[in-house]
Amino acid sequence: MSDKKTNQGESTIRDIKLAPNGRQKIEWVKPHMPVLNALHEQFRRERPFVGKKILMCLHLEAKTAYLALTVKAGGGEVAVVASNPLSTQDDVVAALVESGIRAHAWYGATEREYFEHINQGLNFEPDYIIDDGGDLVATIHTRRRELLGKVKGGAEETTTGVLRLKAMDKDGQLEFPMISVNDARSKYLFDNRYGTGQSVWDAILRTTNLVVAGKTVCIVGYGWCGKGVALRARGLGARVIVTEIDPIKAIEAWMDGHEVMPMQQAASQADYFITVTGNINVINKDHFLLMKDGAILANAGHFDVEISKPDLRELAVSQRVVRPNIEEYVLKSGQKVYLLAEGRLVNLAAGDGHPAEVMDMSFALQALALEYLVKNNDLEPHLHKVPEEIDKRVALMKLESLGVSIDNLTPEQERYLAAWQD
């Protein structure tokens, strides 16, 4: 890839000439996002975001682009920055800039460039933010505190971001309201489980071109994402081992039919290791040396801290790229292990993220959470749930788009559920 990067008006992107390809990618996802289509149409008519500046820190690929265009259709002035240096698709970003959206991002940004882009995005002085992983919120509350009076609220996309927000809120440090989109049922039950389940395997399969059937897969962490990745591993014909620190989730994994054991024991048994914990160093030097020759390591958590890269480098006598997105580490003991996508979230760094039909619901929630924030400017500076009406509305819109209808409670049934005297 060319190393060219350009200033395009106020934007800093790879190359505006990539836009036609990006436009094509966006056109492909639109018909598969019917809920967002309906909101796009509604926002175009009602213009709820006129006069508002919205900064999004998200994985910059086609589905995200359609969210940004939907908010713009509602009259908002929109800017985007990346939420991971390896998930940015430069052609999609170019298409956004061509459509009048400001962008600061390119694929493969160094850590310094990544935070420079976030700062450039914040120079836009947003009224509202959409965050994925918490980097915008953290930057505003630490290095860009002058924006605290300006930013009126935001929404967070992912489990890791919500964990950071919960910690901030508990410490009384959150200075504007944030809505936890991740915790809506129409988000985590589908995006985290079926979205991650499919997109992680899509990325691993296209990156490695190896068989999964008959192999042993170790899923590290059995939250909603881990459940989905384990489910699809089973579907691909793998023997599945789950490692957990939560006894309840461990029983769930067991009763879902998976083997459960500590990492120390799983390390020598698996052919694939997939981390989905949101925690640090869950695979480390205690484990690498026990692994089979040829073991494949991938991370599906937000940050590249789950598989300890410092430990891996310390144990390695050599390191080289053997195929795009596959690094081979030869360990002192002689065995080779393969790290996918530098240990960054594999489904976006080595794939295109979740399927469009799934992101349809997640991004519809984001769009409606934003509209809710604009309409309710008196929310307390805490972490808020997505209102139940919005969660249900997105699910009903999805069902309608699928041509599926469901029953309603009869008045008698409603009375029965509400009664306690009988």
**Where along the sequence are the contacts to ligand ADE (CB under 6 A)?**
58-59, 61, 63-64, 132, 157-158, 195, 199, 347-348, 353-354, 359
* Closest distance to ligand ADE from the beta carbon of 41 (Å): 22
Q: Tell me if 159 sits within 8 A of 183, measured CB to CB.
A: no
Burial class of residue 54, CB neighbours in 10 A (0-12, 13-18, 19+):
buried
Cβ neighbors of 49 (< 8 A, separation 6 or more) are: 43, 71, 74, 75, 76, 370, 371, 374
Nearer to ligand ADE, 59 or 104 (CB): 59
Nearer to ligand ADE, 64 or 308 (CB): 64
Nearest to 156 by CA among 169, 170, 147, 145: 169
In the chain, how long is the greatest CA-to-CA distance? Answer: 73
* Closest distance to ligand ADE from the beta carbon of 190 (Å): 12
Cα 337 to Cα 316: distance, rounded to the nearest angstrom = 10
Nearer to ligand ADE, 274 or 291 (CB): 274
The strand pairing partners of 77, in sequence order, are 53
Nearer to ligand ADE, 174 or 349 (CB): 349
* Closest distance to ligand ADE from the beta carbon of 70 (Å): 14
* Closest distance to ligand ADE from the beta carbon of 337 (Å): 26
The residue number with the shortest CB distance to ligand ADE is 353
* Closest distance to ligand ADE from the beta carbon of 6 (Å): 24
Nearer to ligand ADE, 207 or 216 (CB): 207
* Closest distance to ligand ADE from the beta carbon of 302 (Å): 8
* Closest distance to ligand ADE from the beta carbon of 297 (Å): 20
Nearer to ligand ADE, 29 or 296 (CB): 29
Nearer to ligand ADE, 24 or 377 (CB): 24
Burial class of residue 45, CB neighbours in 10 A (0-12, 13-18, 19+):
exposed
